Amino acid sequence: MTPNKGAPESCKKMVVVGVGNMLTSSDPHTILVTHSLGSCIGVVAYDPVAHVGGMLHAMLPSSAANHDRAVARPFVFVDTGLPALFNAIYGLGGNKDRLLVTITGGAQFLTRSPIFNIGPRNVASVTDLLLSNGIIAHLVECGGQYSRTLRLDLASGGLILDAPGCQPRHL
């Protein structure tokens, strides 16, 4: 099936990727969207040849302190959610060498204390895990003190980022 790149966003179905969740798809009529990317981290991976992609909305960098929760909800954590995202995309025909990876979120709302430095720790965790697997993010939109909403159009791989007080912009 040829993706319908010309279909307006209003003709497509929006599928929400909730906090601590992950979704993948090859449906060209779908837009994946995640809200409230504050200190959480959003990772999008998209294969422009196979037209498959996915989105992860992870809350915490490491599952080490809570193995039981990681088993029950692996997408809450970067170290368990990110491999699951990539494996699901590969299962839909995505190829590692073609993936376009975008990282968003990782805001710092509270203090500079390393204990509560969740946003920057999430960013570092994603970056380290990607690099250790030979993957470099093509776009990183992280930090600051504001939340973000991110949309992925599965037909085109187009990304739209919304932040409070700013016009939505194409990445």
170 falls in which pLDDT band (50, 70, 90)?
very high
Q: In whole angstroms, give the CA distance from residue 73 to residue 134.
A: 26
Q: How far is CA 50 from CA 28, 47, 81, 100, 150, in A?
A: 11, 6, 22, 12, 21
Q: How many CA atoms lie within 13 A of 104 on its CB side?
A: 25
DSSP 95-160: -GGG-EEEEEE----S-S-TTS-HHHHHHHHHHHHHHHTT---SEEEE-SSS-EEEEEETTT--EE
Q: Tell me the domains of the chain and their CATH numbers.
A: 13-170 (3.30.1330.200)
Averaged pLDDT for residues 33-43? 96
Cβ–Cβ < 8 Å for 167, 149: no
The mean pLDDT of 88-111, rounded to a whole number, is: 93
pLDDT value at residue 23: 98
pLDDT of residue 109: 74
Give the pLDDT confidence score for residue 4 in this predicted structure.
44
pLDDT digits (tens, 9 = 90+) for 124-143: 999 999 999 999 999 999 99
* 43 strand-pairing partners: 56, 103
What's the pLDDT band for 117 if we cut at 50, 70, 90? confident
pTM of the predicted model, to two decimals? 0.90
